[in-house]
Amino acid sequence: MRIFLLPIVALLFVAPFAHAQELVSDTITTMRAKVVEVVSQETKQVPGLNVSATTQTIKIQILDGAEQGTTVTIANDYLVLKQGEVFYLRHDVNALDGTDYYYVYEPYRLGSLAILGALFIALVLFFGGKQGARGLLALGGSLFFIVFLLLPGILHGYPPVLVAMGVSSLIICLGSYITHGFNRTTSTAVFGMVLTIVITGLLAYAAIPFTRLTGIANEEAVYLNLNAHGSIDLAGLLLGGMLIGVLGVLYDAAIGQAVAVEELTVAAPELSRAHIYKRALRIGREHIGALVNTLAIAYVGAALPLLLLFFGYGTDTWSTAINREIFATEIVRILIGSIGLVLAVPITTFISVRMLVGKVSHSRHSGHHH
């Protein structure tokens, strides 16, 4: 196991931390501000469109940064603000002629996000107990790997596929052992998941040129490509995203299969490996049906506004809309993720049967199992 993981860990820790280069040279500062007074407000029809827009003139006070305490009066046509409301303000200074202007950037959401986060943590700890706490710890570790290994590795120009495979394997190992403890059952699930990630990665690697996806389907990818001066492999990035996206449901399927084999072995130690494999696969089939649906519906839900825009107001037919890269990307993502999910069940079941049958009851009685 350690030998297997060493190259992955080495690859990731070699990747130096890098930052995207800024494309623009204008000075842009973002700070928090508060509405002192709404000086005026009016709602007008937007010429040529059947929508109305509200414009305000507001007096604001800057709450932090170098300009803290400064009061400015600005025009605002982005979002309707009330007196006393806190928001993020942008101050742009033009690099060429020094002209500057202030504009409303975003509402201040951090307080609301913190309340929702606290509610989530409280419920997980209350209903999940020790297992819930372990799950939160594993989630924190996963986010750490993504922010401090995956992103810098890709920004530095390492192949996104290899970096995503490596980070996925680390997330799998960390999450599994923290949540389910160090035991034979967890190890079988880890082996099954890592093998599935490798197979899914190779499949995605082949699928992207096969479906002629470029990875430049949305504006975020375009901006990233400009800021990185074309140094990032966007098709590879798309592929890496597919692997990370499937981790959650893959984890669920693999752990479920390993536990199913373990329970069957303990309940009926006299059964042959082939018989246990068949029974465990039967459990896995039920799981596959539910999880594939979960994965597809989650992706469709995320793309709902886009679907409405194209199918309700676009000029494309169904076939030309589906053929567009922005939709084809989501379809490939769903299909590759689902294939990985389906493969995880027989792969993990096979590994579990090889590693657990005839051995698990002994480890149970000697008290090693969590």
pLDDT digit string (tens) for 85-111? 999 999 998 888 888 889 999 999 999
Does any domain span residue 94? yes
The answer to whether residues 210 and 336 belong to one domain is yes
pLDDT in tens, 157-190: 888 888 988 999 999 998 899 988 889 999 999 9
Does any domain span residue 305? yes
The answer to whether residues 60 and 168 belong to one domain is no
Q: Who contacts 177 (Cβ-Cβ below 8 Å, separation ≥6)? A: 186, 190
Does any domain span residue 10? no
The answer to whether residues 157 and 262 belong to one domain is yes
- Mean pLDDT of the residues in the chain: 84
Does any domain span residue 226? yes
CATH number at residue 329: 1.20.1640
The answer to whether residues 92 and 224 belong to one domain is no
Position 10 confidence tier, pLDDT thresholds 50, 70, 90: very low
DSSP state string for 227-256: HTTT-S-HHHHHHHHHHHHHHHHHHHHHHH
Instruction: Check whether 145 has a pLDDT greater than 60.
Output: yes
H helix or E strand, kind and range, residue 53: strand 52-62
Mean pLDDT of 309-321: 78
The answer to whether residues 227 and 307 belong to one domain is yes
Whole-Å CA distances, 207 to 239, 345, 350: 9, 22, 26
Here the tokens at position 48 are 């040529």
pTM for the structure as a whole: 0.74
The answer to whether residues 326 and 260 belong to one domain is yes
The residues that bridge with 93 in the sheet, in sequence order, are: 27, 100
Does any domain span residue 140? yes
Count of structural domains, the chain = 2
pLDDT in tens, 33-67: 999 999 998 888 888 777 888 899 999 999 998 88
Here the tokens at position 54 are 């509200």
Mean pLDDT of 188-200: 93
Q: Characterize the bridge pairing of strands 86-93 and 100-107.
A: antiparallel
CATH number at residue 96: 2.40.50.140
The answer to whether residues 357 and 235 belong to one domain is yes
Q: Which amino acid is at 58?
A: I
Q: Which domain holds residue 106?
A: 27-44+54-111
Give me the pLDDT at residue 25, please: 65
Does any domain span residue 4? no
The answer to whether residues 172 and 216 belong to one domain is yes
Give me the pLDDT at residue 9, please: 46
Question: How many Å is the maximal CA-CA distance in the chain?
Answer: 84
Does any domain span residue 198? yes
Q: Which amino acid is at 362?
A: H
Task: Give first-to-last CA distance, the chain, whole Å.
Answer: 20
The answer to whether residues 230 and 360 belong to one domain is yes
Phi/psi zone of residue 231: left (φ > 0), alpha (ψ -120 to 50 degrees), beta?
A: alpha
The answer to whether residues 220 and 317 belong to one domain is yes
Give me the pLDDT at residue 17, please: 42
Mean pLDDT of 74-83: 90
The answer to whether residues 135 and 94 belong to one domain is no
The answer to whether residues 146 and 103 belong to one domain is no
